[in-house]
A and B are shown apart, each in its own frame.
Chain A
Amino acid sequence: MTVLQPAADTPIVSAAAQLPAEDRPRPLRKRTTDDVLSVIGSLLGSAALVWLVYFEILPLSGLVGFIVCWYFAFLAMYAGVTSLSHPRPVVTSRLMGAAVTAAALLVGFALFTVIGYTFWQGRFALPHLNFFTHDAAGVRVQDPLNHGGIEHAIVGSLIQLGIAVAVSLPLGLGTAIFMTEVGGWFAKVVRTVVEAMTAVPDLLAGLFVYVTLIVGLGMSRTGLAAAIALSVTMTPIIARSAEVALRVVPGGLREAGLALGASHWQTVRRVVLPTARPGLATALILAMARGIGETAPLLIVSGASTFMNANPLNQPMNSLPLYIFQGARSGQPLQIERAFGAASVLLAIVFVLFVITRFLARQRVGRR
């Protein structure tokens, strides 16, 4: 969206007053020297002032406090500098700009520390090859990192995710097709319920599967139960984002298909679904990224094995989130290092899924 914006925060009126006789186009999206210099000057000035007062005069220490004080001193100084040469609306505008930018920077910094910290702490466990090729059977908590690994958790996570996709993809996609292509009053009911379910805590999906399958049908805590709990959380996500993808398929395409004599099913199969394919893939992968990181339902319905178990039907099965959780709660330094190694692997898987999503989403934009 392109909006004609006046040069940074300066109102048009003051710019127009300086115009010579002939019309000159208003400069767009260009910062004036005044804009840039008042920011830089206020930043430097407040840093020097706060450093002097904070560290040298007052008996204070701590980086967080310094940065907070610096920021508020910067706001004050920036407001002062601006009010020397500008009216009040410009002062407000610049202050709010500084506040908004600071909020975004803080959020970016927090996200950076989350990701950076995980990989940084994973640096102990990740270089060991056995970390990826061994399971944790017979590994004691005091054993060094060249013993045992998380192969069983990786394999378990992938198997559970595979089953969950096999269950939730047809259900989610079918529901999305019903909501957009078939429609009717019943579709509205379904949409309301699906939307409500997307936001229900994932823990409750675990409780639900526990009540129905484990208490009700007498299943044991196997990989299958975990996979079903995952699909309960993934189905509404797929249904909702697939519905959005299907809804943006132009209605003209559907009508063209029907006008050529195709049946409704043929139109959906040959026109609507292929057009929406990137969006549908995005929906699936987003749900996968969400599903592979789910921990809460697994705590309820899945046992955690220490050994390799590729059979989802009997014996408990471990998974990455459960492994991380147990490692983090154990309090043992080596187990925590292993947990961070597993967290790095989990985060890397989420990244890969995410990059694929972005790639597919961009393809859709390029094709139009």
Chain B
Amino acid sequence: MAVSADLPRVIHPGLPGVDRVFHGSTRSIAVLVLVIFGSIGAFLGYQAIPTFHRYGLKFLTQHDWQPRLNQIGILSTLIGTIEIALVALIIAFPLALGTALFISEYAPARIKSTLVSLIDLMAAVPSIIYGLWGALLLMPHAKFVSRWLHQTFGFIPIFKVDTDPHAAVWAQSRYTSSAFIAGICVAMMVLPIACAVMRGVFAQAPLGEREAAYALGATRWGMIRSVVLPFGRGGIIGGTMLGLGRALGETIAVLLIISLAFDINFRILQAGSSSISALIADRFGDATTNQLAALLTAGFVLFVMTLLVNTVAAIFISRSRSGAMTEI
């Protein structure tokens, strides 16, 4: 055989058979997962159609939930959900920010990893445990705080309660089971999530810029204010929004603390509130077919709300990650 001309080596294009099977099977798993999770929204939305058809927009603007009287609306529940989430966020945000800063900037390097895992542990504690804590340990103490807030800031409408705060025998039960106490408990669950995101972003703040701030004579807080916080702004917002998503959907702890009431109630210290998830969990067991459809519709509204919040959170978090490009 004379090698007269260079013959090109035969290359088998494409994947070997085993890889085709591999790619195909992982892709089909991914498609399956996508179909399952995509259909959550689709199924809930499909179940919501008859209710929206029947009640129309009144479902969103009517506040009373009385299926027997054919009055079904989630306005008061929506307001309660947002109230609880906002209280939780107002409490959790400064604490999460402070804890994240403490872990990333103040804590000695030796105990840093322990603190990080403590926060992770806090996120892993089941919500039913927080519910027990909130209903049985927190509530008896928090009603005194509620009363004090009423006494001191009672002139602000949201801190009003329908009772005399200065009475010698004060109506303790008016201050329990409120959106405020549920909010404190939900804050405990929001906190580790927000804190973990914030700490992760703070830890990425560029070393060179930290050193530069110190070299210019900054104090530690000066460095944090001029380097770490601006760098982590996206993470702070994103982590808070992620916590908000969790707060909107929290079920068990809220259900154990509040007493369900369907009045439009802006008084956060007063007993009686309502949230979509607590409503669903509470009424699901003994619901008739019509009521079930209404509950599923409420679930769909919750789904849309959390999806919106989480999408915004994801956008902020991904933006903060691209901030890492400024590293020198």
Q: Which residues of A contact B (CB under 8 A)?
A: 1-6, 8-13, 62, 64-65, 89-90, 92-94, 96-97, 99-104, 106-108, 110-111, 113-115, 117-118, 121, 170-172, 174-175, 177-179, 181-182, 186-187, 189-190, 193-197, 199-205, 207-208, 211-212, 232, 235-236, 239, 263-266, 268, 286, 289-290, 292-296, 299-300, 321, 324-325, 328-329, 336, 339-340, 343, 346-347, 350-351, 353-354, 358
Contacts and interface: CB of A to CB of B under 8 A. Distances in A.
Contacts, number: 287
Interface string B104-147: 01110100000101101110111111111101110001001100
Contacts of A175: 26, 29-30, 33
B103 interface: yes
A239 B127 CA distance: 22
Nearest to B16: A263
Nearest to B24: A182
B124 A93 contact: no
A286 B281 contact: no
B124 A350 contact: yes
A89 B219 contact: yes
Given A204-B40, A328-B256, A347-B125, A358 B117 contact: yes
Given A110-B188, A170-B29, A212-B39, 14 more contacts: A5-B220, A97-B220, A114-B130, A182-B27, A199-B246, A200-B306, A203-B280, A203-B281, A205-B40, A207-B299, A294-B126, A300-B284, A324-B132, A343-B129
A13 B23 CA distance: 62
A97 to B, nearest CB: 7
Contact of A5 (B47, B115, B214, B285): B214
Contacts of A265: 18-19, 21-22
Interface of B: 15-16, 18-19, 21-23, 25-27, 29-30, 32-34, 36-40, 43-44, 47, 94-99, 101-103, 105-107, 109, 115, 117-118, 120-122, 124-133, 135-137, 141, 144-145, 148, 188, 191, 195, 203, 207, 210-211, 214-215, 217-222, 224, 242, 245-246, 248-252, 256, 277, 280-281, 284-285, 296, 299, 302-303, 306-307, 310-311, 313-314
A292 B125 CA distance: 10
Nearest to B29: A174
B25 A174 contact: yes
